[in-house]
Amino acid sequence: MMGVFRVRAQVVSLTDPALSLELDMLVDTGATQSVIPRAVLEALCATIVRRQTFRLANGEEIHRDVGWVGVRFNDREAHTLAVFGEAADATVLGALTLEELGLEVDPRERVLKPTVAWLLVANDSEKPVEVSAPVP
């Protein structure tokens, strides 16, 4: 089992990239999305995209708002669909955000490190891509 560890990451406003806040985040590859306190997302002018259902490890279903925000870790930055965390929710750096940042967990050293991304096919010369005009 992987040991729990935390990292410092910046959460960045998408409407004003000069506006950011640094957070202490729990790294959780078992969490699909990142969870950021509602007050932080509201301070960064993140807008709610939808309300989504999540299942906790104990099987309980909860409902949370989600919205887009930037996340910066060291020299990497990505836009991610984050959960508006409620008062009792942990601040979490989840699996999708880690993938969007191109990072993986080193469980022995308890650090994040760059990863190599996977593509199914980068160049398939046998099947050229056909592009057609969009239908009005």
Per the model's pLDDT, the better-predicted residue between 29 and 11 turns out to be 11
In a domain, 54, yes or no: yes
- Predicted confidence at residue 88, as pLDDT, reads 92
In a domain, 71, yes or no: yes
Q: Containing H/E element for 43? A: helix 38-43
In a domain, 64, yes or no: yes
Domain that holds residue 42: 6-114
* Residues 68 and 83: beta-carbon distance below 8 Å: no
DSSP SS3 for 56: coil
Structural domains of the chain, count: 1
- pLDDT category at 10 given cuts 50, 70, 90 is very high
pTM of the shown model: 0.84
Residue 2 above 60 pLDDT? no
AA identity, residue 53: T
- pLDDT category at 123 given cuts 50, 70, 90 is low
Q: CATH number for the domain including 55?
A: 2.40.70.10
In a domain, 20, yes or no: yes
Compute φ and ψ for 61, nearest 5 degrees: -95, 135
Of 73, 83, 80, the C-alpha closest to 105 is 73
In a domain, 37, yes or no: yes
- Mean pLDDT of all residues in the chain? 90
In a domain, 129, yes or no: no
Residue 96 above 90 pLDDT? yes
Q: At CA 116, angle to CA 70 and CA 26, rounded to 5?
A: 45
- Predicted confidence at residue 58, as pLDDT, reads 93
In a domain, 79, yes or no: yes
In a domain, 134, yes or no: no
Query: pLDDT for 32-90, tens place per residue?
Result: 999 999 999 999 999 999 999 999 889 999 999 999 999 999 999 999 999 999 999 99
Residue 1 above 60 pLDDT? no
